[in-house]
């Protein structure tokens, strides 16, 4: 517009203003380029918005912004203040508008880094806050904020590992680490960069900090071995440089060169291991000894057949058992005995003396083995052998009896029973000897010369007058019927046999004498009884009459009972005998003083989890043993687990639950108690040892909470389909690790459970230690 036109418009504007038409006057003033007059005219007429817009259209943002602020249009005001580069007032306007992000951004542009950072942090934007702090030179705070941003990114992208591991994401940690380093916080820098596996950056930070050794380690971790070796050499760390050169040689497959470098580095054990891998046991042993690794040296000497050097090296390592074994191989029996003595291995000491014919020293060592120690039975058996050799048959018999304890004749103890019978012969106790021989023949008909000895003993018995035996039980014992607490359970005549001939009528003895009834239920009646033949208290279970109508079930029961009787474990109730008389079936078992876990729960409500851990550990040991012997319980539950007065677990009916349930339920498929049954057991699918582990999980749940995981409704449906609750829902103070063990045991898919009782035991140990 030319000046004349502008002058004309201004004149028209003043005329309109005099005429009271402020709006037209303002418009004409703006058109003439007279912006201040236009604004004043609008303001005089109360049209602040038009005044602000006029300044804005004129590009006078700094003048427009306050007018917008007066109108309460703070966002527009802030934008105009920013255009005018008046960032401080822009921040104030955004603050009044309730726009913190814009406020923080404008505050930062105004140079108020602390306020800007604070606002960004409040907004949960650590990265932006970190950028602001870094500009302000606040390296430590910026480093902390970048690390927070990195951790936020990891959480945000936890289901997108590629993004989480990307250089962009790790770049946040990189910025954090470098800022820490700039502030002189080297350890913090290394820790941050380590989390993001930024090994190259760590090595540079450490090198600049003068820590060549650590810098070289991280160079090696990032694959820069040559550079690591040079760095160590330049810093004067010759051994470190040699070690790094050895690693370089190994990467190139130059094993012998690597060995040389390791030796020069003083890494004798590493060099020895490489010699060992090359089957160079001579140099391996030499270097292991130089490294002070005496046990490894001993293993190398043993591999090369130098038993004496191996023995000495084991002795230096205080590996007494291994040293003894090597001394034995070298023929130094005296030194082997000395090693066993240092190891406190009483049985091995006794055996070593026995093998050397030093019976008195052997007796002293073996008699020191106390009941409950693992070698007690073997020690007593060896003492029996010694006393037999010395012709002291009475003492031999007593030690043999202590060795076998309450165990009946079976494959693993036949030799002991055999020697006991020979000693009984020597003592003239032919009936007892013959009884043992008969039991041995039942277990192993072809064992040594037992058949011949039976005939010889019978001849000896015939050559002298027979003495009638007295009855072993009076009325109330098994024979005329079992009587206990006024109850009768059928006939069980225990006839004594000698060889192939039945003894005289007087010997048709009653073996079991009932003392009292312990309990009764769907599984039969249980009595406390006395086994007069072996002179011990037992539990005698008389099975329900339903067995009479289930011949197949009875056959299955006999087979399962045989498997159960083969189990010999301190946490499993031992099955002694099973039989049938007058149509009634009975089973004799170990008698246990104590209460069932179910009874404890009824009395106390629940069991403290630490006590439950102790109980569970023993259950696991019993389960692992049974499962290794191919016996599955199928009905693990609190009422089948005893807690003895000696604080020991005893599991009842191991291997027998299935058949007993089959008969009492009138079925031959599904066994177990519904509250504790696994999904595969519930649906009738094939079960294995993991079914017992599921029941253990339910049992543990009930022990620590006092409740069942599925106490009501369609129990079978819940076991198959409904996720079990956590024990922490009932007892919040129970540790997470323990709660996780219980949940894993109750996994619906048996492949998702622990795969053995040993695995459960290890998981429980970790739950105890918290590791």
The residue ranges of every structural domain in the chain are 510-590, 595-769
Tokens of 335: 């030194």
**How far is residue 460's CA from residue 425's CA, in Å, rounded to a whole number?**
10
Q: Is residue 667's pLDDT more than 60? A: no
Where does the pLDDT of residue 377 fall: very low under 50, low under 70, confident under 90, or very high at 90 and above? very high
Compute the half-sphere exposure of residue 41: CA atoms within 13 Å on the CB side of its CA: 25
Compute the half-sphere exposure of residue 716: CA atoms within 13 Å on the CB side of its CA: 8
Percent of the chain scored above 90 by pLDDT? 42
Q: At what angle do helices 609-628 and 757-769 cross, to 10 degrees?
A: 160
Where does the pLDDT of residue 612 fall: very low under 50, low under 70, confident under 90, or very high at 90 and above? very high
- Average pLDDT in the 5-30 region? 88
Q: Is residue 620's pLDDT more than 70? A: yes
Residue 504 and residue 520 in contact, taking contact as beta carbons nearer than 8 Å: no
The predicted structure's pLDDT at residue 673: 62
CATH annotation of 595-769:
1.10.510.10
Alpha helices, H only, 33-85 = 35-44, 48-57, 61-70, 74-83
Cβ burial 577-603 (10 Å sphere, 16+ → b, else e): bbebbeebbbbbbbbbebebbbebbee
Q: Is residue 662's pLDDT more than 70? A: no
Give whole-number Cα distances, 550 to 546, 547, 660, in Å: 7, 5, 11
Per residue in 352-366, pLDDT (tens digit) is 998 888 888 899 999
Per residue in 420-431, pLDDT (tens digit) is 999 998 888 999
Most confident of 163-167, 384-388, 470-474: 384-388
Residue 324 and residue 339 in contact, taking contact as beta carbons nearer than 8 Å: yes
The predicted structure's pLDDT at residue 659: 56
Cβ burial 176-193 (10 Å sphere, 16+ → b, else e): bbbbbbbbebbebbbebb
Q: What's the chain's average pLDDT? A: 82
Where does the pLDDT of residue 602 fall: very low under 50, low under 70, confident under 90, or very high at 90 and above? confident
Per residue in 468-527, pLDDT (tens digit) is 332 223 222 222 222 233 333 332 333 222 223 232 222 223 678 888 888 766 567 888
Give whole-number Cα distances, 517 to 482, 525, 539, 640, in Å: 10, 8, 9, 18
Higher pLDDT, 347 or 129: 347
Residue 678 and residue 691 in contact, taking contact as beta carbons nearer than 8 Å: yes
- Entry field: residues in the chain: 771
330-334, 362-366, 564-568 — which is least confidently predicted?
A: 564-568
Residue 337 and residue 356 in contact, taking contact as beta carbons nearer than 8 Å: yes
Rg (CA), the chain: 45
- 163 DSSP 8-state letter: H
**Angle subtended at Cα 254 by Cα 223 and Cα 242, rounded to the nearest 5 degrees:** 60
Long-range residue pairs from 177-185, CB within 8 A, at least 24 positions apart, any chain: 177/143, 177/201, 177/202, 177/205, 178/205, 179/134, 179/139, 179/140, 179/142, 179/143, 179/146, 180/139, 180/140, 180/143, 181/205, 181/208, 181/209, 182/139, 183/139, 183/140, 183/143, 185/140, 185/143
Higher pLDDT, 326 or 522: 326
Where does the pLDDT of residue 770 fall: very low under 50, low under 70, confident under 90, or very high at 90 and above? low
Alpha helices, H only, 356-468 = 359-366, 376-389, 393-404, 414-426, 430-443, 450-462
The predicted structure's pLDDT at residue 50: 94
- Average pLDDT in the 444-472 region? 71
Give whole-number Cα distances, 562 to 117, 300, 565, in Å: 79, 47, 5
Where does the pLDDT of residue 320 fall: very low under 50, low under 70, confident under 90, or very high at 90 and above? very high
Which superfamily is assigned to 510-590 in CATH?
Phosphorylase Kinase; domain 1 (3.30.200.20)
The predicted structure's pLDDT at residue 670: 40
**How far is residue 584's CA from residue 578's CA, in Å, rounded to a whole number?**
11
Q: Is residue 761's pLDDT more than 90? A: yes
Higher pLDDT, 145 or 535: 535
Compute the CA torsion angle 378, 383, 388, 390 (nearest 10 deg).
150
Containing H/E element for 113? helix 113-122
Q: Is residue 615's pLDDT more than 80? A: yes
Per residue in 27-58, pLDDT (tens digit) is 999 888 899 999 999 999 999 999 999 999 99
Per residue in 571-601, pLDDT (tens digit) is 999 988 887 766 678 888 999 999 899 989 8
What is the DSSP code string of 196-258?
TT-HHHHHHHHHHTT-HHHHHHHHHHTT-HHHHHHHHHHTT-HHHHHHHHHHHHHHTT-HHHH
Compute the CA torsion angle 411, 415, 421, 426 (nearest 10 deg).
170
Residue 529 and residue 577 in contact, taking contact as beta carbons nearer than 8 Å: no
What number of other Cβ atoms are within 10 A of residue 614's Cβ?
A: 16
Most confident of 124-133, 291-300, 712-721: 291-300
Q: Is residue 166's pLDDT more than 80? A: no
| Residue 649 β-bridge partners | 643
């Amino acid at each position: 517009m030319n000046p004349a036109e502008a002058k004309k418009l201004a004149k028209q504007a003043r005329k309109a203003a005099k005429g009271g038409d402020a709006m037209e006057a303002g418009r004409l003033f703006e058109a003439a380029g007279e912006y201040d007059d236009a604004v004043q005219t609008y303001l005089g007429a109360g049209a602040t918005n038009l005044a602000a817009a006029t300044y804005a259209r004129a590009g006078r943002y700094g003048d427009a912004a306050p007018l917008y602020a007066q109108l309460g249009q703070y966002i527009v005001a802030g934008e105009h203040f920013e255009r005018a580069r008046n960032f401080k007032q822009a921040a104030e306007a955004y603050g009044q508008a309730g726009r913190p992000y814009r406020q923080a951004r404008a505050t930062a542009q105004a140079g108020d880094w602390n306020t800007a950072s604070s606002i960004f942090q409040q907004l949960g934007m650590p990265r932006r806050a970190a950028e602001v702090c870094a500009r302000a030179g606040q390296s430590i705070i910026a480093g902390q904020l970048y690390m927070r941003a990195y951790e936020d990114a990891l959480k945000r992208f936890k289901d997108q590992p590629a993004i989480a591991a990307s250089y962009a994401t790790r770049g946040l940690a990189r910025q954090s680490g470098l800022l820490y380093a700039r502030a002189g916080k080297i350890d913090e820098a290394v820790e941050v960069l380590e989390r993001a596996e930024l090994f190259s950056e760590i090595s540079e930070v450490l090198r600049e900090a003068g820590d060549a050794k650590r810098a070289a380690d991280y160079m090696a971790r990032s694959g820069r071995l040559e550079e690591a070796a040079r760095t160590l050499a330049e810093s004067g760390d010759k051994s470190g440089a040699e070690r790094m050169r050895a690693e370089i040689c190994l990467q190139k497959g130059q094993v012998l060169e690597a060995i040389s470098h390791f030796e020069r580095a003083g890494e004798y054990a590493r060099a020895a291991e490489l010699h060992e891998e090359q089957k160079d046991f001579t140099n391996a042993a030499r270097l292991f000894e130089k490294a002070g690794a005496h046990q490894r040296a001993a293993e190398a000497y043993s591999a090369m057949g130098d038993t004496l050097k191996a023995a000495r090296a084991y002795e230096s390592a205080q590996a007494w058992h291994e040293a003894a074994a090597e001394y034995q191989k070298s023929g130094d029996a005296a030194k082997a005995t000395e090693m066993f003595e240092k190891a406190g291995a009483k049985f091995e000491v006794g055996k070593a003396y026995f093998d050397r014919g030093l019976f008195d020293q052997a007796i002293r060592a073996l008699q020191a083995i106390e009941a409950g120690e693992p070698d007690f039975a073997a020690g007593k058996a060896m003492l029996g052998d010694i006393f037999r050799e010395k012709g002291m048959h009475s003492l031999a018999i007593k030690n043999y009896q202590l060795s076998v304890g309450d165990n009946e004749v079976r494959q693993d103890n036949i030799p002991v029973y055999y020697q006991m019978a020979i000693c009984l012969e020597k003592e003239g106790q032919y009936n007892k000897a013959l009884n043992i021989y008969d039991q041995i023949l039942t277990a192993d008909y072809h064992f040594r010369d037992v058949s011949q000895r039976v005939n010889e003993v019978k001849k000896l018995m015939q050559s002298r007058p027979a003495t009638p035996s007295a009855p072993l039980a009076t009325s109330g014992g098994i024979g005329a019927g079992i009587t206990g607490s006024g109850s009768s359970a059928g006939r069980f005549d225990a006839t004594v046999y000698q060889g192939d001939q039945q003894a005289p009528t007087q010997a048709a003895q009653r073996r079991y004498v009932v003392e009292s009834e312990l309990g009764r239920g769907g599984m039969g009646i249980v009595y406390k009884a006395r086994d007069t033949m072996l002179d011990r208290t037992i539990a005698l279970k008389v099975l329900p009459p339903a067995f009479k109508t289930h011949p197949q079930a009875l056959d299955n029961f006999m087979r399962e009972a045989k498997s159960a009787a083969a189990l010999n474990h301190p946490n499993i109730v031992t099955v002694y005998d099973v039989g049938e008389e007058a149509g009634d079936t009975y089973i004799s078992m170990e008698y246990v003083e104590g209460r069932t876990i179910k009874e404890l729960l009824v009395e106390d409500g629940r069991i403290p989890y630490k006590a439950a851990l102790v109980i569970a550990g023993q259950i696991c040991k019993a389960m692992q043993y049974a499962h290794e012997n191919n016996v599955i319980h199928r009905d693990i539950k609190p009422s089948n687990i005893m807690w003895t007065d000696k604080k020991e677990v005893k599991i009842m009916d191991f291997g027998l639950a299935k058949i007993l349930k089959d008969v009492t339920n009138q079925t031959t498929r599904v066994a177990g108690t519904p509250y504790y049954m696994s999904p595969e057991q519930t649906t009738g699918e094939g079960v294995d040892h993991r079914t017992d582990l599921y029941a253990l999980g339910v049992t543990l749940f009930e022990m620590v909470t006092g409740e069942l995981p599925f106490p009501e409704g369609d129990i079978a449906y819940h076991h198959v389909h409904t996720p079990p609750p956590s024990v922490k829902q009932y007892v919040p103070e129970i540790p997470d690790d323990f709660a996780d063990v219980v949940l894993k045991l109750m996994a619906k898919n048996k492949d998702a459970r622990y795969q053995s009782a040993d695995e459960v035991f290890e998981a429980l140990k970790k739950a105890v230690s918290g590791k």
